[in-house]
């Protein structure tokens, strides 16, 4: 049995702490500008100061404060996208796998179409028609996410509906809706929870990528992807503007992926004995 990934949990806990308590942890407002203090390096550099521990950006805004508030944006977007996209995929996967027949074929064609359509292009189209914002961002990410959940959950249901307890439920006169809700759903929740943890990293990278391309959270609202985009023109002279949020994205994604791997092994009865 693999040991609990304490380092990963520590990184995840730190992100959640930053997101929840951002107004108390951030030393400054993430949007306040101070042009005389623009492009100050982190405190360990020659021109750095402990007043701005991670330096300032091109408008003199504190990088540490924007990093802390950016965690809140990433967490909110990730939570909503996983809740909506994962929930839709869970329901459609159960219905498709259990009902089967033409309905299953129709739903799977929608899944294939969702995989084939480029998410970035769809997000850019939404940004043009609906404008930038968290609503546009979460819609795009949710529509990208549901298909993967639906396909995996459907595969689980196809195996479960051949089990004896489902046959006994049919003999006792349970309706299909009752069987799906009380017999199928509890048996796919483990898989669903693992998918949630493994897709957190996907959503965070997706949010950062779309914000980088201008289809995400509009400035001056802090977002890790937006911070990388704003600093790309100064990467040679002000490396901290892109490197610091880039490291934050990398650490959080790795932490969630490692925790998802551990959770998968923990919930799998076959791997639990190893």
Q: Could you read off the pLDDT of 180-238 as tens digits, one per residue?
A: 888 888 888 888 888 888 788 788 878 777 877 777 777 788 888 888 888 888 888 88
270 pLDDT exceeds 70? Answer: no
Q: Is the distance from CB of 224 to CB of 269 less than 8 angstroms?
A: no
pLDDT at position 268: 62
Q: Reduced to 3 states, what is the DSSP secondary structure of residue 56? A: strand
Q: Using 50, 70 and 90 to split pLDDT, how confident is the model at 274?
A: very low
CA distance 60 to 268: 50
CA distance 98 to 70: 41
**Closest by Cα among 231, 215, 236 to 67:** 231
**Domain parsing of the chain, residue ranges:** 6-27+37-269
CATH for the stretch 6-27+37-269: 1.10.3720.10
The CA–CA distances, whole Å, from 208 to 143, 197, 204, 242 equal 17, 18, 6, 12
pLDDT at position 269: 53
Mean pLDDT over 115-124 rounds to 77
pLDDT at position 236: 83
Residue 68: burial class (beta carbons within 10 Å; 0-12, 13-18, 19+): buried
For residue 49, what are the β-bridge partners?
52
User: Percent of the chain, pLDDT > 90?
Assistant: 14
**Closest by Cα among 26, 48, 19 to 200:** 19
CA 136 to chain CA centroid, Å, is 15
pLDDT tens digits, residue range 139-173?
888 887 888 899 999 988 988 888 888 888 888 88
Secondary structure letter of residue 2 according to DSSP: P
Per-chain mean pLDDT for the chain: 84
């Amino acid at each position: 049995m693999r040991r609990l990934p304490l380092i990963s949990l520590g990184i995840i806990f730190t992100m959640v702490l930053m997101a929840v308590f951002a107004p108390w942890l951030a030393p400054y407002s993430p949007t306040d500008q101070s042009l005389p203090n623009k492009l100050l390096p982190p405190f360990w550099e020659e021109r750095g100061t402990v007043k701005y521990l991670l330096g300032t950006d091109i408008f003199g805004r504190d990088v540490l404060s924007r990093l802390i508030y950016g965690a809140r944006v990433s967490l909110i977007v990730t939570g909503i996208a996983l809740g909506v996209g994962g929930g839709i995929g869970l329901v459609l996967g159960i219905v498709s796998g259990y009902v089967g027949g033409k309905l299953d074929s129709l739903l799977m064609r929608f899944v294939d179409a969702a995989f084939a359509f480029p998410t970035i292009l769809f997000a850019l189209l939404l940004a043009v028609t609906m404008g930038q914002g968290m609503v546009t961002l979460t819609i795009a990410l949710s529509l990208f996410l549901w298909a993967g959940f639906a396909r995996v959950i459907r595969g689980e249901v196809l195996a479960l509906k051949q089990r004896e307890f489902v046959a006994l439920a049919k003999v006792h006169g349970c309706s299909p809706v009752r069987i799906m809700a009380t017999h199928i759903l509890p048996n796919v929740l483990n898989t669903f929870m693992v998918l949630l943890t493994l897709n957190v990293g996907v959503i965070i990278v997706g949010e950062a990528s779309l914000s980088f391309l201008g289809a995400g959270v509009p400035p001056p609202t802090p977002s890790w992807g937006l911070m990388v985009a704003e600093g790309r023109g100064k990467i040679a002279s002000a490396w901290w503007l892109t490197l610091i949020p880039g490291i934050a994205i990398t650490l959080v994604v790795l932490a969630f992926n490692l925790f998802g791997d551990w959770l998968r092994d923990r919930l799998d009865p076959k791997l639990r004995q190893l």
